[in-house]
Amino acid sequence: MSAEGEAQSELERTWTPRTRVGKLVAEGRIKSIDEILRRGIPIQEPEIVDILVPGLKEEIIEVRRVQRQTDAGELTQLRIVAAVGDGMSYVGVGKGKGREFRIALADAIRNAKLNIVKVRKGCGSWECGCGRPHSIPATVTGSSGSVRVTLMPAPRKLGIVGNETAKVILGLGGLQDVRVFSKGQTKNRMNYAFAIHDALWKLLLMTLPQDWRV
């Protein structure tokens, strides 16, 4: 058995689920994360994602020191925005806070797993029409704060036309060719990352011509 398989088996043995969905996963009655996402059931335990989507990659989007005023004075913490994905079909974005880097990072990765979404793929570019799932099937817009991000289908071999944050998140989701247009305070990496995540979520909810039934 590989090291990854051994780690997953150890997790299944030591994990004590607290939610109904977690118990169904631990019992083996839910074997695919699509069963959960398709029903719109919120994921409340990151171990569910660890078991159903093994081998997730982790990327740090932003590390920033933030301050807030308390009764005892100013409290300084680290805020980290992170993304996780399997590089094929699933990606999530989350943020975390903590006085120490490792605590903030663990919190961000945990929240990213809870926010995982399936990437809807296709070939919606009129310049291509190859029918392969290398891009997205339609144009979609997502927002977070003052940032609005529009994802547009692109022809094969164009790559991801966007900034580094877009390349990291869309790459973790397994997308190869996408045009990214943005408005607002795009230097805010946190809002930019969550706007992309929002767009991918809305893409799942869209009814496209290939979904129509005669």
pLDDT digits (tens, 9 = 90+) for 150-187: 999 999 999 999 999 999 999 999 999 999 999 999 89
Phi, psi of 201, rounded to the nearest 5 degrees: -70, -45
- pLDDT over 70, % of the chain: 93
- Whole-number Å distance between alpha carbons of 99 and 122: 42
Which of 119, 72, 70 shows the shortest CA–CA distance to 92?
Answer: 119
Domain layout of the chain by residue ranges: 3-52, 57-118, 140-207
Contact 193, 93 (CB under 8 A): yes
pLDDT on residue 2? 53
Give me the architecture of the 140-207 domain, per CATH: 2-Layer Sandwich (3.30)
What pLDDT, in 10s, does the model give residues 120-152? 999 888 888 788 889 999 999 999 999 999 999
Strand-pair partners of 95: 81
What pLDDT, in 10s, does the model give residues 31-67? 999 999 988 889 999 999 999 999 999 999 999 998 8
- Whole-number Å distance between alpha carbons of 44 and 115: 9
Options 3.40.470.10, 3.30.1240.10, 3.30.160.20, 3.20.20.70; CATH of 57-118: 3.30.160.20
Mean pLDDT for the stretch of residues 181-201: 95
pLDDT on residue 208? 79
pLDDT on residue 214? 47
Judged against a pLDDT cut of 80, whether residue 16 lies above it is answered with yes
Which range among 25-34, 102-111, 127-136, 198-207 shows the weakest confidence by mean pLDDT?
Answer: 127-136
What pLDDT, in 10s, does the model give residues 46-55? 999 999 999 9
Question: Sign of the CA dihedral 64, 164, 82, 202?
Answer: positive
Average pLDDT, the chain: 90
60: its two tokens? 């740090």
Judged against a pLDDT cut of 60, whether residue 1 lies above it is answered with no
pLDDT on residue 76? 86
Judged against a pLDDT cut of 50, whether residue 200 lies above it is answered with yes
149: its two tokens? 């991000």
